[in-house]
Amino acid sequence: MSRIFSGIQPSGELHIGNWLGAVQNWVTLQQRYDCIFCVVDLHAVTGKYERDTLALRTRDMAIGLLASGIDPGRAVLFVQSHVPGHSELQWLLNTLTPIGELERMTQFKDKSQRFESVPAGLLNYPVLMAADILLYRADLVPVGDDQTQHLELTREIARKWNADFGGGEAWFPEPQPLLTDAKRIMGLDGEAKMSKSLGNTIGLLDGPEEIWQKLRPAKTDPARVTRKDPGTPEVCNVYHLHRYFSPPETVAVVAENCRGAKWGCLDCKRVLADTMIATLAPIRERALDLRSHPARVDQILGDGAATARRLAGETLREVRARMGFLPGAPA
């Protein structure tokens, strides 16, 4: 069975963009593949970060994933910093990665501009990501299109390691992106991809009132200035969200009432709020239950980390030997 690895940062909020774009897909994939999912807290400290909430955000991300249907009986779910092998392999891979390649990464070029003094961790971020994936010798990596460049670099690093230490073998598989059904969910501002840092999200665990408060001011078709103006559903972000949350009959009604100017945008949003609240209610309920039982979550993450450490240990034993280190490292 092919192995899948993917990671998600403990940003503090799993929002409907992550859920529609990634997490729902993970839940499906765990039925058919050997899946390893990781909350990548070591990646989350590459810039300025909130020290006091890191631990809580990390656990809460795991809670969001579990509530969405990640099943610890089928997939391995763990926290990156609980498996020290990620850092060790990253160091080893750093020695094969040209700085020029790292400086060329679009995400680095973008994020480094926000720093007066750029931390080396920001430059080396993609090497840690390569280590995450190669540590489990994963075949496939479900990622959004913003990460395909990092994945390409991962393949280059794997190729280089194989050439230098593989003894004629492609010992590390060259991991391929899994772009199935990749959805790019726009934020409520209708301007950029939904992202916590832009404040244009709806949280997966938001309650009915929060959902409505956030949806009410959301951008719609700019040509609809008054409710008498006929709208074009295809250019309206709220309509696109309807297609994810509302049943097809409702979507058809929404489109018709928008085109015919029979509904105002607020009417349309009220219907969306209702279907969204109903869709998310069972996830929210499971999450609230897990939040009130943190020990249960930590147990799941502890078991996941134990499995991951065992798998990582197998890889690292072989990697250290092939790279010529004196035996004696801890298992």
Contacts to ligand TRP by CB under 6 A: 5-7, 9, 40, 43, 129, 132-133, 141, 143, 147
Nearer to ligand TRP, 43 or 155 (CB): 43
> Which among 160, 183, 196, 219 is annotated as catalytic?
196
Question: Would you say 61 or 241 has its CB closer to ligand TRP?
Answer: 61
Closest approach, Cβ 238 to ligand TRP, in A, equals 26
Q: What are 101's two structure tokens?
A: 């390649």
**In terms of CB distance, is 95 or 176 closer to ligand TRP?**
176
Q: Least CB distance from residue 176 to ligand TRP, whole Å?
A: 12
Q: Does residue 232 contact residue 221 with C-beta atoms inside 8 Å?
A: yes
**Widest Cα–Cα separation across the chain:** 77
Give the pairing type, strands 76-79 and 176-178: unpaired
Q: Hey, which residues does 15 pair with through a beta bridge?
A: 203
The minimum distance between CB 107 and ligand TRP, in angstroms, equals: 8
Q: What type of residue sits at position 197? A: S
Between 129 and 204, name the residue whose CB sits nearer to ligand TRP: 129
Asked about 214 being catalytic, the answer comes back as no
- Measuring CA to CA, which residue among 144, 141, 145 is closest to residue 132? 141
Nearer Cβ to ligand TRP (147/162): 147
| Six token digits for residue 227 | 């409710």
Amino acid at 200: N
151/156 Cα distance (integer angstroms): 9
Which entry of 109, 160, 183, 193 is annotated as an active-site residue? 193
196 is catalytic: yes
Active site residue 193: yes
Q: For 194, phi and psi rounded to 5 degrees?
A: -60, 125
Asked if 246 and 271 touch (Cβ cutoff 8 Å), the reply is: yes
Q: How far apart are CA 129 and CA 131, in angstroms?
A: 5
Q: From the CB of 203, what's the least distance to ligand TRP, in Å?
A: 18
Whichever of 143 and 251 has its CB closer to ligand TRP, that residue is 143
Q: Which residue is nearest to ligand TRP (CB)?
A: 7
Shortest approach of ligand TRP to residue 248 CB, angstroms?
Answer: 31
Helix spans in the chain (H) = 16-18, 24-32, 54-68, 85-94, 99-103, 106-112, 120-135, 148-165, 208-215, 237-245, 248-259, 265-291, 294-323
Total length of the chain: 331
Shortest approach of ligand TRP to residue 241 CB, angstroms? 22
Cβ–Cβ contacts within 10 Å for residue 220, how many? 20
Q: Which residues are catalytic?
A: 111, 193, 196
